[in-house]
């Protein structure tokens, strides 16, 4: 049986960050990853003629943990083409304007919705327990929209901007999710909008994964799905699907929240963690890439949360073709792999686009994720945020899904990995004094 100081389960950003930090602190680390690739919900694939981000896409210098990695590794960052046109729906008609026109149209609604975020959540980097935040957390985003007194057109436009952010039906998304996002940019919804959807790593986000993995002093084992964890105060054992067992003084579990409860854990997860995982996140939407015949002008388009595709925009543009990225609230709503169905969905705005190819990863059906990016359901933060971060014996947790500041983003994965590595390092210092390491460790 292999014995190490720390086993990290999962080689996404949270797991790799945890492993890098603990390896650099002198601990013997083993990373066990179920799949045959690194990165988890970062998944860059060369398709449709570009570095296609099937998973996480954009990042920003306002996201401090991930931007520190951009600086540390000298990663080149660029942006997609600026939209020259914007389409949205008003009084049953398609309006064609520019992006500034759309943003001005939704500005009053967005202000009503989230302008007080920084007051309601003054320190989004910490767990918020204030009464006003807790009250907001009980509401769905839909309930708040319903009370905003917007015209039908304003409401559709404002709502679908949030489908782009939340990637789920708005009645299943907590209002506090919107507050958390906007509090991270001090209450400025336009800044939040930019921070979450413009800049990308030029060579693909997998390069970020690869450079962090390259700095892990320890083994990273692919094709190693963990099926069982047994943990006690002084250490634990991890069993893989092939029956092999490894032992460590500390175990860090980085599984996405939606699949956490599916692992056989002894003693069982605390009831709050288990219920949070069983309830699941609100993140059941679709991210779809569409290659269309060119030339076209780069454009943005918004419909409503009820359409198959709520938001669409041009991410790459060439003379002969362009690659669009689209988001919908529900992955099960239409056959997004069918070119005819996608062409039909685009006709909401324009019938002059010829769809050549489509590409997507069905995250909601991926057994190693079962979700896109984490968005909490109403009440979930208040019920479970603090508990999800708490270790149980020698079993620790790290994931973007349980982060504070930019939870659900790359930044949150790194924040969570850094926090957990610090906690594990501190607890191992005490453990080495109590149970000294053997000469071969």
Q: How far apart are CA 28 and CA 113, in angstroms?
A: 48
Q: What is the DSSP string of 163-176?
A: HHHH-S-GGGSBHH
Residue 52 or 413 with smaller CB distance to ligand FAD: 413
Pairs from 402-405 (Cβ < 8 Å, separation ≥ 24): 402/257, 404/124, 404/125, 404/126, 404/127, 405/63, 405/64, 405/65, 405/124, 405/125, 405/184
Residue 89 or 395 with smaller CB distance to ligand FAD: 395
Residue 1 or 340 with smaller CB distance to ligand FAD: 1
Closest approach, Cβ 367 to ligand FAD, in A, equals: 8
Residue 54 or 86 with smaller CB distance to ligand FAD: 54
Structure tokens that stand for 237 in this block: 């054992």
Residue 16 or 431 with smaller CB distance to ligand FAD: 16
Burial status of residue 367 (CB atoms within 10 A of its CB: 0-12, 13-18, 19 or more): exposed
Residue 58 or 316 with smaller CB distance to ligand FAD: 58
Angle subtended by helix axes 410-434 and 13-24, to nearest 10: 40
Query: Is the alpha carbon torsion for 140, 145, 146, 147 positive or negative?
Result: positive
Residue 73 or 368 with smaller CB distance to ligand FAD: 368
Closest approach, Cβ 286 to ligand FAD, in A, equals: 8
Structure tokens that stand for 324 in this block: 């669009």
CA 128-129-132 angle, 5° bins: 100
The answer to whether the beta carbons of residues 288 and 45 sit under 8 Å apart is no
Closest approach, Cβ 91 to ligand FAD, in A, equals: 32
The answer to whether the beta carbons of residues 283 and 373 sit under 8 Å apart is yes
The answer to whether the beta carbons of residues 163 and 106 sit under 8 Å apart is no
Chain residues in the site for ligand FAD (CB under 6 A): 9-15, 32-35, 40-42, 55-59, 225-226, 254-256, 259, 287, 363, 368-369, 372-373, 399-400, 408-410, 413
CA gyration radius, the chain: 22
Closest approach, Cβ 257 to ligand FAD, in A, equals: 9
| Continuous segment of H or E residues that includes residue 355 | strand 355-359
Residue 95 or 198 with smaller CB distance to ligand FAD: 198
| Close Cβ partners of 135 (under 8 Å, ≥ 6 residues apart) | none
Closest approach, Cβ 27 to ligand FAD, in A, equals: 19
Closest approach, Cβ 212 to ligand FAD, in A, equals: 11
Closest approach, Cβ 377 to ligand FAD, in A, equals: 17
Closest approach, Cβ 261 to ligand FAD, in A, equals: 12
Q: How far apart are CA 170 and CA 212, in angstroms?
A: 35
Closest approach, Cβ 103 to ligand FAD, in A, equals: 19
Distance of CA 208 to the CA centre of its chain: 15
Residue 175 or 181 with smaller CB distance to ligand FAD: 181
């Amino acid at each position: 049986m292999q014995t190490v100081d720390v086993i990290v389960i999962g080689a996404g950003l949270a797991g790799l960050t945890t492993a890098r930090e603990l390896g650099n602190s002198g601990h013997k680390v083993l990373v066990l990853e179920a799949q045959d690739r690194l990165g988890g919900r970062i998944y860059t694939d060369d398709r449709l003629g570009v570095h296609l981000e099937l998973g996480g896409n954009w990042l920003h210098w306002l996201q401090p943990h991930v931007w520190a990695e951009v600086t540390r590794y000298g990663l080149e960052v660029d942006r997609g083409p600026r939209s020259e046109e914007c389409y949205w729906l008003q009084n049953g008609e398609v309006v064609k304007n520019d992006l500034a026109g759309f943003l001005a149209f939704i500005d009053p609604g967005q202000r009503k919705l989230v302008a007080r975020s920084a007051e309601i959540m003054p320190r989004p980097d910490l767990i918020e327990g204030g009464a006003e935040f807790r009250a907001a957390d009980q509401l769905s985003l839909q309930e708040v929209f319903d009370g905003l007194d917007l015209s039908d057109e304003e409401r559709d436009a404002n709502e679908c901007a949030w489908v782009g952010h939340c990637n789920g039906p708005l009645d299943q998304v907590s209002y506090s999710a919107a507050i958390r996002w906007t509090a991270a940019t001090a209450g400025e919804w336009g800044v939040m909008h930019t921070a979450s959807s413009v800049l990308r790593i030029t060579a693909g986000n997998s390069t970020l994964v690869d450079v962090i993995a390259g700095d892990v002093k320890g083994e990273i084992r692919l094709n190693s799905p963990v099926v069982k964890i047994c943990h006690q105060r002084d250490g634990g054992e991890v069993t893989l699907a092939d029956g092999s067992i490894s032992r460590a003084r500390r175990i860090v579990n980085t599984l996405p929240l939606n699949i956490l409860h599916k692992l056989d854990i002894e003693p069982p997860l605390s009831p709050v963690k288990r219920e949070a995982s069983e309830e699941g996140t609100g993140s059941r939407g679709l991210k779809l890439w569409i290659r269309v015949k060119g030339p076209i002008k780069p454009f943005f388009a918004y419909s409503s949360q009820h359409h198959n595709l709520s938001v669409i925009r041009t991410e790459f543009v060439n003379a002969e073709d362009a690659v669009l990225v689209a988001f919908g609230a529900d992955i099960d709503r239409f056959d997004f792999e069918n070119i005819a169905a996608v062409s039909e969905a685009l006709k909401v705005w324009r019938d002059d686009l010829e769809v050549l190819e489509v590409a997507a990863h069905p995250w909601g059906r991926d057994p190693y994720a079962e979700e896109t990016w984490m968005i909490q359901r109403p009440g979930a933060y208040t019920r479970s945020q603090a508990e999800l971060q708490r270790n149980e014996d020698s079993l620790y947790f790290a994931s973007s899904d349980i982060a504070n500041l930019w939870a659900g983003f790359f930044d949150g994965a790194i924040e969570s990995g850094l926090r957990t590595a610090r906690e594990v390092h501190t607890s191992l210092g005490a453990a080495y004094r109590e149970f000294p390491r053997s000469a071969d460790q």
